Structure 1
Amino acid sequence: MGDEDKLLCYNGRINNLRKYKEKILTGNAFSLTIFNATETDLNVVYQCRYGFDTARKWIEVDEPNIVLSLILITDVIVFGGDIILTCTANGISTIDREVTRQWSMRTDDELLSYNGRINFPKKYEETLTSKNQFSLRIFKVTEEDVNITYRCRYGFDAASTFIELNKYNYVSKYQI
């Protein structure tokens, strides 16, 4: 293993039985299992030898596969009330504060928030909610806030949703 050519196993004898296991497979094949892999086990070259033949394999850390989803949390839109949009980074357990978060709206991507810094703090508020979510609260909803597209970004990934005002999700403040 590695540049130092650290010996892990020789002819079935494992140097660390708690860490490695060799298995002889059918068809002139064998495998090495690494238990409880850590960062020191990754981003390194492993090689196996059989007689004078050698095979090498670089084992690297996989980047998480993130899929963003954006939904309107608020069931009913009331002019003068608030609505909440929540962006979920599926594929990770926790939002990394070092990764860019951004909220925008309309087709021209008018910037609303960048890493929690709000352009219009009397109108919008960003909150890091659960471990893999962040939300945008829109205060005192008006007609200009609906029937448009909102977008969240996390790193290089983005999700959009169109907030449509219709007879099923709108209640006049006079109906309440």
Structure 2
Amino acid sequence: DDYCRLLSYVLLPLYLQVIEDTEKLKQKLHEARRHIKLARELHRNLVVSERRIREHATSQRYRKIQEISDGVGVARSLLHKKVRQRRASPILASKADDSPLQPKMASFSSQSTPKDRDTTMVSESNVKKRQLGDMVHVSKFNKKAVVLKVDPSKEEILVQLGNIKLKLTLADVVI
């Protein structure tokens, strides 16, 4: 009988400690399961969000492409309209192209010295021949280029040779 009482005093606290530890483990297990459930839900939400982001990026890309296509269409229409107008009245187009060069040519020839007049006349005739959009031969590269801008005061010409824009002297290009 004393032995049983002694065992109960010794074993009872141990038994209670085991029960308490078991309850703590159950709580931790329950909390871990809750965290796993939350993690799965977060993962599902992440996958859905990634899919929505991809769909949004794709729709934005298509929208940008559509806007660019629309802009290109408008620009092409305007360009075709100007070309048709220019083709319809070539006399007006040539007068319009010559008129901006006239004041520059007058100031250029008035600043030149008598010694330079011979080369000035050659340059003036070359400038008059070279108009925006004309094809010229660039002797340095042995290639054809498009005239973008003519600056008779500096005797320079801006041309586009493929993707390259070059500023050359008037002597470097041949009509």
Higher helix share: 2
Q: TM-score, normalised by structure 1?
A: 0.21
Higher relative CO (Cα under 8 Å, sequence separation at least 6) belongs to: 1
Higher strand share: 1
Q: TM-score, normalised by structure 2?
A: 0.21
